[in-house]
Structures are given as C-alpha cells and as structure tokens.
Amino acid sequence: MAQGERVRRILHCDMDCYYAAVHVRDDPSLAGRPVVVGGDPEGRGVVATANYEARRFGIHSAMPAARAKRLCPETVFLAPDFPVYRRESEKIFAIYREITPIVETASLDEAYLDVTDHLGPSGTASEVAKEIRRRVRAERGLTVSVGVGPNCLVAKIASDSCKPDGLRVVPPARVRAFLDPLPVRRLHGVGAATERALAAMGVATVAQLRVVPLPNLLARFHSHGRTLHEYASGIDERPVQPFHERKSLGTENTYRRDLTRVEAMDEQLDAMAREVAVGLGRRDIAACTVTLKVRYPDFTTVTRSLTFRVPTSDPGRIGSTAKGLLRRTEAAHRGVRLLGVSVATLVPATVRQLELFDDA
C-alpha cells in the first residue's frame, strides 16, 4: 500500500445457520434440538441448512436429507419458507443500511459493508461490528458473525473463521500472518480444479502460493494467475457494490386481435416466461412469486398469483405456473386483449440450488 493511501474498512456479516435459526427463534420448542431445513428425508430432498446441534452428528449442507436422518433420527426436518426468510432478511439489512449505505447483498443472509466513511462515534470498524451484532441479537433475536478487514477477501475469511456468533478483526499489518497458514481453497475463486492444479505445483497453503513467481502462475492459470498472486498477498481491490433491489420483473403484450384459443394464449405465456427467465438470469436473481395479468376485450383486468417456497428462474416452471393461473380466469370463454407475466419476491440467485428440494 502506498504511503498515505487510505485503508478501507470492510465488514462481512454472515448470519449463523440462518434458515434454521429463524425457525428456532419463532418456535421455542425447537431450541436445543437438531434442526434441518431442506427437502423431504423420505424422498430425494437435500439439506439446505443444519443448525449446530445437527452438525454435531456430521450433518451438513448439500447432504441428502435421507442420510441426515440416518445420522440423527431425532432431527426435526422443516421445509424451506423463503418468503419468511426474505422478510426477515429485509429487516436485518435495514439495520446494516442504518450504519452505511454501502451494503452489497451476497445472499439472503450474507452481506459486505464498507464502513470506511461511516465509523460513527467510536471511529473504529471493530466497534461498528460490535454494534451490528448487538442490534441483530436485540432487535431480531438472531446471531450474526462478522469479519473485519481491509478488503472483501480478508473480511469474508475472517467471518468464516469466527462462526458461530463471533467477531474477528484482521488489521492490515496482520493480513499476511492471518492468511499464510490457510489452505489455498479458502481464497475466493479457488475451487476444486484450481486446488488440484496448485497441488500439482506443490502449493497447498496461501504462504506457499505467495512465493510462486507471477510468470509461473500466469503460464498455468492465465489472467486468473494474477488474481491468485494478489489474493495470496491479501490484495483485493474489489469495491463493495450496493445491490439496488428490484421489486418485480415482467413483460406483457397487447394484441391487435383478441386471442380466443387457449392454445394460442399458452404459446404466448411460454414465450413471456422465457423472456422473464432471461431477465432473471441477466441479473443473477431468482423469484418466488409468479403473477399472471389478463385483460379481457371489455378492458376488465384481473391478476392471479402463486408463490413458491423455493425460488426459481426456470422458464419451464414460470411458464407452467402462468398457464395454470390462466385456467383460474375466464379467458377461455371471454378471450383476451392483453396477457402479462411477471415475477416478484426476488432473491439473489445463490439460492437457486435449493430447487433440488421437494417443493411439496
């Protein structure tokens, strides 16, 4: 860092066992019991979140729910309820945004905050982190682990290292000492394939990666090699980017001639669903609610909606839902002048993997 360059102060806030914690808070009878949020253990469901009581039995995210039940038959299995998680997330993020307007949504339960210019009366990022943890516990009845560092990379690793219900501060002068003993897999952007390639080069820890000459990394990983070189030294210039949330996304068509055949309406809805899905994909978000809009020839307009427990960005599912909603209108008997498909209750697409769960 150049002399006189201002040090950023970044927080990574990560809720502890978020989905399960919300259920336990709202149902005190679950306190102290192993709880899994996910799919049906009698079917092909998958674990989304396991609380720490369940983790003691070896249960973890992405594990088949049936195996989780075998590991601990006393586990309470709950279906995910994303509308509830989303409403709670909005209240938690409102606390963050009272601290700083620079809040980047990573998922429903995870955020980066840039507090460099928003340190409050204390003047320190560590005190800001303590205040966030206090308020989330007092106002929402939940716990959040917070990592503090000079950039997003370090703050994220710090929060991971202090869970559950912890706080870890990594000052700039301690960044290398903090990162050096860690396995390279802990670095952002290092997946299984990169980890194997580094292992073939004799690199297992961040300290070992840091001393690999940059030309060697560029030769093996091309442009990603430079990123690896920088991350190994704790350098991460990515800014915290506030996510300006959309409330809904949709499309509609007014027809020169009224549609009178249901088959023609279905074709239009399928096309709209594909358009909406492209919009979701472009923004890397998914939706829990699908809404159908129908305008009859006399200009009467009706809407029908359906909300899923599990978000989706799949055009087939959006289209089939819209067509099902069409059957709940009088379109087949009255014809339509306008059709529209929109989606709402939008969430970051990181939760799309939960479509593996049974949605019954």
**Annotated active-site positions, please?**
110
Distance between CA 56 and CA 109 in Å, rounded? Answer: 22
Q: Does residue 164 have a cis bond before it (omega within 30 degrees)?
A: yes
* Tokens 């590991």, located at residue: 71
- 100 contacts: CB under 8 Å, gap ≥ 6: 113, 114, 115, 117, 118
Q: What share of the chain is helix, strand, coil (3-state, %, to 5)?
A: 45, 25, 30
How many whole angstroms separate alpha carbon 135 and alpha carbon 127? 12
User: Counting every residue, how long is the chain?
Assistant: 360
Would you give the DSSP letter of residue 354? G
Label residue 38 left, alpha or beta by phi (over 0 means left) and psi (-120 to 50 means alpha): left
Neighbours of 181 (CB within 10 A): 10
Scored b (16 or more CB within 10 A) or e, 224-259 reads: ebebbbebbebebeeebebeeeeeebbbeeeeeeeb
Q: Which two tokens stand for residue 288?
A: 């829990």
Interatomic CA distance for residues 139 and 92, integer angstroms? 9
Which helix (H) or strand (E) segment holds residue 133: the answer is helix 125-140
Beta bridge partners of 307: 289
CA angle 110, 113, 118 (to 5 degrees): 150
